[in-house]
């Protein structure tokens, strides 16, 4: 395959511009790292050329001596000289370049000028530029180490690619992946991302046959929709596991590092998840997830079942406990499976799932195969300490047929050298080997998440919902609710009243109790100005409420909704990702905990229906204390309609339903606010 990044990541030839002889210098380190590259190779040192040793005075001269095969230029010159060097490299035929140094965007006005020049040369010449401010990249298959970290050259080739915002993290993740028994297909640190960014590299990886799974590390997102499209493209063909920085407020340091504002952590994670990435919490979880996903995957399934076979009950219990906490289903094994197991195992062990083998013996492989074959088991997790005189775990796992066709993760406990030996054999057989219960639980969670997300994506993209746009506003509560009702969202019976007489008529019409609320699009927080009166039953109470609201004000008289749990649902425009939906539970505790589910809009009703299950306090929606159960399908339809409405209404900044009440009869919007971006009334006047 060839992509527009092939000259960068798979060049025919490489030239180091600014190759130094001083061993501490960047140019010298780069020249050393690139020395083993088997393709064309040249160094440029304007001050000390030695053409006999492949050190030339200029890139043009270097190109002439290498039949023009130098398509990648590695620039080891100061920031001020980079643009000029890039122009010369482009003129000499280079089509890609790497700039490692700092001193650009993060370094004040002068640095920004250098960055601007460099960006201009790249744009004008069409050279694809990685960096600046990165330690580079490596492609072990090609013997290509364009990094100044010496050990990078010893990373074994394999099938996991790393795309990291930071050069240091690219190296750290690659070393971690290798320590866990994996190899690397390509490792890239984006750095400042003046030209090539994470989305570009992801698009390249979608085409890269060597890569079976991708690690993605993000600090900032310059272009949300482009990143989402790129992740979606890769995730459609191979797993993407993503780690996003910025859960806590590390803004200051992060800005110093990247020269850019941090994106909202929650929204970025939600967007990546929706695009098909498996999102993890730290780099260990990332390594565990990739160790598993690069070797085995489950079929798309909304709720895969986990079987556990353990040779030692205690560690198996740790694993089962973690899997249970993560919401992984561990089905009881079928009677036939239990029957077959009872013939293979001593009578006293637990055999329903987890399957506790006791000290494993010669039947171990058959126990694994039997459990994996249970119809309710979609994934098998195996734990055993290495005990060479009782069982050879790697052989047993292979004998049981575990691997791509029978997805499993295997934990081998024991001394590091024993574990490494078993792991190498398991990996060779395509069976992921993990390092302990927590590590296996991470792998299980990643495999299950991947299967669940693909089941969801199976519903396809959001259907084009033909909805009327939000009318020009400002819209008061009555108008907002009328619009919602047009979307098929239930609202209470109500009468908008211009006078006291109207209000009394409304009370008679609706019967008591009613809610009486001030009706004025300019008032966003009605309660705070005494504009909301609930449980009004009698004409006297109504008069009192109207007096409190103030003479001459319009009001809304509305049937009271039955009691129930409250949700908050909103659609708005995220500055990075565009339209998003947010759903949470009502009440201050949910708010204080930021217990909120986020999706990019538009989205399908099926995708939206899964939002409540993201909420930590979701138990409140599932018949809490005998209360109603949220109909996920109804919720999904409400969300999808709201999201479609925002998409259809370019002048609308935000639509919020708060509260959206969960009643025994379904969802009902008790209050609604629609905010416009511009004063559309005025625009309308001009139309």
Pick between residue 411 and residue 497 the one whose CB is nearest to a copy of itself: 411
The residue whose two tokens read 């990546």 is 272
195 Cβ neighbours under 8 A, 6+ residues apart: 119, 122, 123, 128, 129, 130
325 binds a copy of itself (CB under 8 A): yes
Q: Which of 401, 639, 676 is nearest to 521 (CA)?
A: 676
The residue whose two tokens read 């094994």 is 333
Footprint on residues 454-493 left by a copy of itself (CB under 8 A): none
117 binds a copy of itself (CB under 8 A): no
Looking at 439, 491, 604, 641, which residue binds a copy of itself (CB under 8 A)? Answer: 439
Pick between residue 46 and residue 415 the one whose CB is nearest to a copy of itself: 415
In angstroms, what is the minimal distance from the CB of 313 to a copy of itself? 4
Binding residues for a copy of itself, rule CB under 8 A, total 104
Say if CB 275 and CB 348 are below 8 A apart: no
Structure tokens at 576: 């990075």
Build a one-symbol-per-residue string for 286-305: x at contacts with a copy of itself by CB under 8 A, - elsewhere: --------------------
382 binds a copy of itself (CB under 8 A): no
256 binds a copy of itself (CB under 8 A): yes
Q: Which of 92, 102, 171 is nearest to 127 (CA)?
A: 92
Say if CB 262 and CB 250 are below 8 A apart: yes
Footprint on residues 145-174 left by a copy of itself (CB under 8 A): 148-151, 154-155, 164-172
CA 308 to CA 329: how far, in whole Å?
11
Footprint on residues 269-288 left by a copy of itself (CB under 8 A): 282-285
650 Cβ neighbours under 8 A, 6+ residues apart: none
In angstroms, what is the minimal distance from the CB of 21 to a copy of itself? 14
Looking at 179, 237, 664, 678, which residue binds a copy of itself (CB under 8 A)? Answer: 179
Phi-psi region of 103 (alpha: psi -120 to 50; beta: other; left: phi over 0): left
CA 160 to CA 484: how far, in whole Å?
47
Pick between residue 39 and residue 111 the one whose CB is nearest to a copy of itself: 111
Q: Which of 134, 138, 236 is nearest to 189 (CA)?
A: 134
Pick between residue 1 and residue 616 the one whose CB is nearest to a copy of itself: 616
φ, ψ of residue 429 to 5 degrees: the values are -85, 5
406 Cβ neighbours under 8 A, 6+ residues apart: 372, 373, 380, 400
Looking at 10, 29, 205, 489, which residue binds a copy of itself (CB under 8 A)? Answer: 29
Looking at 10, 73, 178, 568, which residue binds a copy of itself (CB under 8 A)? Answer: 178
* Alpha helix stretches (DSSP H) within 380-512: 393-399, 416-428, 437-457, 477-486, 500-510
Footprint on residues 72-91 left by a copy of itself (CB under 8 A): none
In angstroms, what is the minimal distance from the CB of 356 to a copy of itself? 7
In angstroms, what is the minimal distance from the CB of 223 to a copy of itself? 20
565 binds a copy of itself (CB under 8 A): yes
Structure tokens at 451: 């299967």
Looking at 314, 530, 623, 679, which residue binds a copy of itself (CB under 8 A)? Answer: 314
In angstroms, what is the minimal distance from the CB of 148 to a copy of itself? 8
Pick between residue 148 and residue 577 the one whose CB is nearest to a copy of itself: 148
Looking at 102, 132, 305, 564, which residue binds a copy of itself (CB under 8 A)? Answer: 102
Pick between residue 253 and residue 665 the one whose CB is nearest to a copy of itself: 253
Footprint on residues 196-255 left by a copy of itself (CB under 8 A): 217, 219, 243, 245-250, 252-254
The residue whose two tokens read 């008069």 is 543
Footprint on residues 626-665 left by a copy of itself (CB under 8 A): none
Footprint on residues 401-420 left by a copy of itself (CB under 8 A): 413-416, 418-419
Say if CB 651 and CB 632 are below 8 A apart: no
Footprint on residues 604-633 left by a copy of itself (CB under 8 A): 616-620, 624-625
Footprint on residues 577-606 left by a copy of itself (CB under 8 A): 585, 587-590, 592-593, 595
Structure tokens at 637: 């339809």
For 177-211, give the DSSP string: HHHTT--EEEEEE-TT-SS--HHHHHHHHHH-TT-
Looking at 41, 232, 257, 481, which residue binds a copy of itself (CB under 8 A)? Answer: 257
Bond preceding residue 132 cis, omega within 30 of 0: yes
358 binds a copy of itself (CB under 8 A): yes
Q: Which of 240, 224, 634, 605 is nearest to 449 (CA)?
A: 240
The residue whose two tokens read 């990291």 is 164
Looking at 12, 61, 112, 387, which residue binds a copy of itself (CB under 8 A)? Answer: 387
Q: In what order do the strands lie in the sheet with 555-559?
A: 494-497, 555-559, 514-518, 532-536
Using the rule CB under 8 A, give the single segment among 88-96, 432-440, 459-467, 546-554 that binds a copy of itself: 432-440
Footprint on residues 328-357 left by a copy of itself (CB under 8 A): 348-350, 352, 354, 356
683 binds a copy of itself (CB under 8 A): no
Build a one-symbol-per-residue string for 536-555: x at contacts with a copy of itself by CB under 8 A, - elsewhere: --------------------
Task: Give how far Cα 383 sits from Cα of 52, 93, 159, 311, Å.
Answer: 59, 56, 25, 6
- Measured at the CA of 185, the angle between CA 4 and CA 577, to 5 degrees, comes to 60
Using the rule CB under 8 A, give the single segment among 138-146, 312-320, 363-371, 484-492 that binds a copy of itself: 312-320
318 binds a copy of itself (CB under 8 A): yes
Footprint on residues 41-70 left by a copy of itself (CB under 8 A): none
Looking at 126, 324, 535, 562, which residue binds a copy of itself (CB under 8 A)? Answer: 324
311 binds a copy of itself (CB under 8 A): yes
In angstroms, what is the minimal distance from the CB of 593 to a copy of itself? 5
φ, ψ of residue 105 to 5 degrees: the values are -55, -30
φ, ψ of residue 541 to 5 degrees: the values are -60, -35
Cα 678 to the chain's mean position, in Å?
32
Pick between residue 211 and residue 422 the one whose CB is nearest to a copy of itself: 422
- Burial (Cβ within 10 Å: 0-12, 13-18, ≥19) of residue 460: exposed
367 binds a copy of itself (CB under 8 A): no
CA 526 to CA 544: how far, in whole Å?
17
Pick between residue 149 and residue 161 the one whose CB is nearest to a copy of itself: 149
């Amino acid at each position: 395959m060839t992509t527009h990044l092939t000259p960068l990541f798979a060049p025919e030839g490489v030239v180091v511009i600014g190759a130094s002889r001083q061993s501490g210098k960047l140019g010298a380190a780069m020249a050393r790292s690139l020395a083993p590259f088997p393709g064309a190779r040249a160094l440029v040192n304007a001050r000390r050329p030695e053409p006999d040793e492949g050190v030339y005075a200029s890139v043009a001269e270097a190109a002439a001596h290498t039949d023009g095969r130098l398509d990648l230029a590695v620039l080891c010159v100061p920031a001020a000289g980079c643009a000029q060097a890039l122009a010369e490299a482009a003129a000499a035929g280079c089509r890609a370049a790497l700039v490692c140094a700092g001193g650009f965007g993060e370094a004040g006005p002068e640095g920004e000028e250098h960055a601007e020049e460099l960006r201009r040369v790249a744009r004008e010449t069409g050279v694809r530029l990685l960096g600046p401010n990165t330690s580079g990249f490596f492609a072990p298959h090609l013997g290509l180490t364009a990094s100044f970290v010496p050990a990078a050259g010893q990373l074994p080739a394999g099938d996991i690619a790393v795309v990291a915002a930071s050069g240091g993290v690219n190296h750290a993740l690659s070393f971690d992946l290798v320590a866990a028994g994996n190899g690397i297909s390509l490792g890239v640190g984006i750095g400042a991302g003046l030209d090539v960014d994470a989305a570009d590299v992801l698009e390249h990886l979608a085409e890269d046959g060597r890569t079976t799974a991708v690690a993605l590390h993000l600090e900032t997102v310059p272009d949300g929709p482009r990143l989402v499209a790129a992740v979606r493209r890769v995730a459609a063909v191979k797993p993407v596991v993503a780690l996003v920085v910025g859960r806590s407020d590390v803004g200051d340091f992060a800005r110093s590092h990247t020269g850019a504002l941090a994106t909202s952590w929650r929204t970025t994670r939600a967007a990546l998840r929706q695009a098909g990435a498996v999102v993890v919490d730290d780099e260990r979880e990332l390594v565990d997830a990739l160790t598993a996903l690069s070797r085995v995957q489950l079929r798309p399934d909304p709720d895969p079942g986990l079987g556990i076979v353990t040779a030692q009950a205690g560690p198996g219990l740790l694993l089962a406990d973690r899997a249970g906490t993560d919401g992984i289903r561990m089905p009881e094994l079928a009677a036939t499976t239990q029957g077959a197991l009872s013939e293979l195992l001593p009578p006293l062990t637990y055999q329903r799932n987890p399957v506790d083998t006791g000290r494993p013996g010669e039947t171990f492989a058959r126990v694994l195969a039997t459990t994996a074959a249970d119809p309710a088991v979609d994934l098998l997790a195996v734990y055993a300490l290495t005990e060479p005189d009782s069982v050879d775990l790697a052989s047993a796992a292979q004998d049981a047929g575990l691997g791509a066709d029978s997805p499993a993760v295997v934990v081998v406990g024991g001394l590091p050298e024993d574990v490494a030996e078993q792991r190498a054999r398991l990996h060779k057989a395509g069976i992921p080997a993990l390092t302990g219960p927590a590590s296996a639980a991470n792998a299980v969670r990643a495999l299950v998440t991947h299967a669940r997300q693909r089941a969801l994506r199976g519903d396809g993209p959001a259907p084009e919902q033909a909805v009327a746009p939000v009318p020009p506003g400002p819209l008061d509560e009555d108008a907002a609710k009328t619009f919602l009702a047009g979307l098929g969202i239930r609202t209470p019976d109500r009468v908008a009243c211009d006078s006291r007489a109207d209000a009394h008529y409304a009370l008679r019409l609706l019967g008591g109790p009613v809610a009486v609320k001030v009706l004025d699009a300019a008032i966003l927080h009605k309660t705070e100005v005494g504009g909301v009166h609930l449980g009004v039953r009698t004409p006297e109470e109504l008069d009192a409420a109207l007096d409190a609201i103030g003479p001459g004000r319009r009001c809304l008289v509305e049937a009271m909704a039955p009691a129930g749990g409250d949700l908050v649902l909103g659609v708005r425009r995220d500055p990075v990702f565009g339209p998003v939906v947010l759903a949470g539970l009502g009440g201050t505790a949910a708010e204080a905990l930021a217990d909120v589910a986020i999706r990019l809009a538009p989205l399908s009703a099926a995708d939206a229906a899964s939002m409540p299950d993201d909420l930590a306090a979701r138990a409140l929606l599932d018949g809490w204390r005998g209360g109603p159960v949220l109909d996920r399908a109804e919720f999904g339809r409400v969300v999808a309609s709201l999201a479609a409405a925002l998409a259809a209404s370019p002048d609308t900044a935000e639509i919020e339903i708060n509260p959206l009440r969960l009643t025994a009869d379904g969802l009902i919007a008790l209050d609604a606010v629609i905010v416009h971006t511009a004063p559309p009334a005025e625009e309308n006047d001009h139309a």
